[in-house]
């Protein structure tokens, strides 16, 4: 093959221009691999064309465009990052600030929640207390109503018990409901019994004088209104209250007879 | 690093190789694009598109099909011509077809920026009209041999030899 004639034909200039067919391109490529002179000729033509076309360019060493391209392709580059930094920082800082605020907000909400929950617990306890009080009040009211109905009952006999001897400043009242075989003892006028002692209530017949125990008042201190309902089926002529050792006595200790009252049968 | 290795690395999406190739060919591409669109901003835009396209289509290049320079030159010419066909472009720019690359060289004041440019300017001055047209169509516009022959009403052989002579002259100016 006549290499010189081939080169002189001008086909290599067209090859660089991209003006040949695919088949011709392949042919030139193979010849380049085979003949270094052909390769060198192509390189020279290419270099000249690059200079020719570059001479028309309005911009030299266009780094700005390279950065734009790389940034578009998302290639890592320090310069590109520097350009992006301000926006990046703004967004980042805002993001961090938002997350910090959110965290603080969450903690605050959590704290508020705990506080509210404990307040609810306190309120619940208070409600329970109030309910208990209401229940107690209802009981008290029922008791009071019972007492009122008793007091208003015509069949009730009132027996005032007056202070005796050393205990003349004490008093009590017995309301005797004969039909129901019970008495209501109002012991408001008695002092609290000392430790180890209890009041014992007696039903008495006078001729002969016979005391019958109606029982001890064991809950004297804890009872609020000091009114005690006591069974009494006796044919009582008088009622007396003595102070006795805890557990009560067989017979009244007369030295500690606090109050006594005779039933007015008239 | 030789060109073949560089191109091989570029095909494997090597960023450094891409940068090197950009530096080797970007100015040339900018010249080709600018000659077609005649607007610095639009040329800039097309330049970006060209190299982005080159990056994404790196796989499709094969040295058997032609020179890497020719491959990217083709992308640039097509992108620039496509741009001139867009509606927005047509509205703002009229009658570009009459302009040749030589106009740019002849009207540019700052061509003394490099000895190459001085050489090329001198070379362009000496060029005959037919030679200017051949270079314009083959290198700047991407015409095939046949298309150039038809456009210039010149036999194929004449195109070939005339072009060969023009390039020879250019080489004498800028490569020696």
What integer pLDDT is reported at residue A110 of this predicted model?
A: 92
Q: How far apart are CA B143 and CA B135, in angstroms?
A: 10
pLDDT surpasses 60 at A77: no
Average pLDDT of chain B to the nearest whole number: 85
Residues of chain A in contact with residue B163, where contact means CB-CB under 8 angstroms, are: 10, 13-14, 17
CA atoms within 13 A on the CB side of B148: 29
Q: How far is CA A70 from CA B22, B48, B71, in A?
A: 11, 9, 20
Tens-digit pLDDT profile for residues A240-249: 999 999 989 9
Residues of chain B in contact with residue A4, where contact means CB-CB under 8 angstroms, are: none
Gyration radius (Cα) of chain B, Å: 17
Considering only CB atoms, B64 lies closest to which of A26, A58, A69, namely A26
Show me where the domains of chain B are located: 3-92, 101-174
Q: How far is CA B122 from CA A44, A52, B32, B115, in A?
A: 20, 12, 20, 11
Contact B30 A62 (CB under 8 A): yes
Instruction: Note whether B140 and B32 are within 8 A (CB).
Output: yes
- The backbone torsions φ and ψ at residue B160, rounded to the nearest 5 degrees and listed phi first, read -55, -55
Contact B66 A54 (CB under 8 A): no
Q: How far apart are CA A227 and CA A143, in angstroms?
A: 10
Contacts of B10 (CB under 8 A, 6+ apart): B17, B18, B21, B58
Q: How far is CA A108 from CA A119, A120, A138, A204, in A?
A: 16, 18, 44, 75
Q: In what order do the strands lie in the sheet with A257-262?
A: A210-217, A197-205, A238-245, A257-262, A156-163, A171-177, A182-186, A227-231
Interface confidence, given as ipTM, is 0.91
CA atoms within 13 A on the CB side of B106: 10
pLDDT surpasses 60 at A256: yes
With bands split at pLDDT 50, 70 and 90, how would you rate the model's confidence at A76?
low
Quote the tokens at residue A264.
């007015």
Average pLDDT of chain A to the nearest whole number: 87
Show me where the domains of chain A are located: 3-58, 156-262
- B101-174 matches B3-92 in CATH topology: no
Tens-digit pLDDT profile for residues B146-171: 999 999 999 988 999 999 999 998 88
Q: How far apart are CA B76 and CA B36, in angstroms?
A: 10
pLDDT surpasses 70 at A227: yes
Q: How far is CA B148 from CA B38, B133, B139, in A?
A: 22, 9, 11
CATH number of the structural domain B101-174: 1.10.10.10
Contact A19 B74 (CB under 8 A): no
Tens-digit pLDDT profile for residues B120-141: 777 777 777 778 889 999 999 9
DSSP tag of A59: S
Over residues B74-100, mean pLDDT: 78
pLDDT surpasses 60 at A82: no
Q: Is B3-92 a CATH 3.40.50.720 domain? A: no
Q: Is B94 exposed, middle or buried (0-12, 13-18, 19+ CB in 10 A)?
A: exposed
Q: How far is A57 from chain B (nearest CA, A)?
A: 4
Contact A66 B19 (CB under 8 A): yes
Instruction: Note whether A11 and B62 are within 8 A (CB).
Output: no
Find where tokens 């020879």 sit: B168
What integer pLDDT is reported at residue A226 of this predicted model?
A: 87
Residues of chain B in contact with residue A58, where contact means CB-CB under 8 angstroms, are: 30, 34, 40, 43
């Amino acid at each position: 093959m006549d290499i010189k004639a081939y080169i002189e034909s001008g086909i290599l200039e067209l090859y660089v221009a991209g003006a040949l067919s695919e088949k011709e391109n392949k042919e030139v490529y193979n010849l380049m691999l085979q003949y270094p002179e052909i390769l060198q000729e192509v390189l020279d033509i290419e270099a000249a064309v690059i200079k020719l076309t570059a001479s028309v360019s309005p911009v030299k060493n266009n780094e700005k465009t390279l950065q734009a391209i790389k940034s578009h392709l998302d290639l890592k580059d320090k310069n590109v990052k520097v350009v992006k930094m301000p926006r990046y920082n703004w967004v980042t800082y805002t993001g961090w600030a938002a997350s910090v605020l959110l965290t603080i907000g969450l903690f605050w909400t959590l704290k508020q929640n705990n506080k509210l929950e404990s307040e609810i617990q306190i309120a619940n306890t208070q409600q329970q207390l109030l309910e208990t009080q209401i229940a107690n009040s209802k009981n008290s009211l029922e008791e009071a109503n019972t007492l009122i109905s008793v007091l208003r009952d015509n069949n009730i006999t009132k027996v005032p018990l007056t202070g005796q001897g050393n205990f003349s400043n004490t008093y009590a009242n017995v309301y005797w409901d004969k039909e129901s075989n019970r008495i209501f003892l109002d012991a408001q006028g008695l002092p609290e019994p000392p430790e180890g002692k209890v009041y014992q209530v007696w039903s008495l017949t006078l001729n002969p004088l016979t005391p019958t125990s109606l029982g001890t008042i064991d809950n004297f201190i804890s009872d609020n209104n000091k009114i005690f309902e006591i069974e009494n089926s006796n044919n009582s002529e008088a009622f007396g209250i003595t102070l006795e050792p805890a557990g009560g006595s067989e017979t009244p200790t007369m030295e500690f007879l606090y109050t006594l009252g005779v039933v007015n049968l008239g | 690093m030789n060109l073949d290795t560089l191109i091989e690395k570029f095909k494997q999406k090597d960023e450094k190789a891409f940068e090197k190739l950009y530096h080797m060919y970007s100015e040339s591409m900018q010249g080709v694009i600018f000659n077609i669109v005649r607007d610095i901003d639009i040329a800039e835009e097309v330049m970006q598109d060209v190299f982005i396209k080159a990056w994404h289509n790196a796989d499709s290049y094969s040295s058997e099909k032609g020179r890497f320079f020719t491959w990217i030159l083709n992308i640039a010419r097509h992108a620039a011509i496509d741009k001139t066909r867009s509606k927005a472009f047509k509205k703002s720019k009229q009658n570009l077809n009459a302009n040749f690359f030589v106009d740019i060289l002849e009207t540019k004041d700052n061509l003394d920026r490099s000895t190459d440019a001085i050489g090329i300017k001198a070379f362009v001055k000496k060029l005959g009209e037919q030679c200017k047209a051949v270079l314009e169509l083959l290198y700047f516009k991407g015409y095939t041999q046949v298309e150039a022959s038809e456009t210039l009403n010149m036999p194929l052989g004449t195109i070939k030899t005339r072009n060969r002579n023009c390039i020879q002259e250019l080489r004498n100016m800028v490569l020696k």
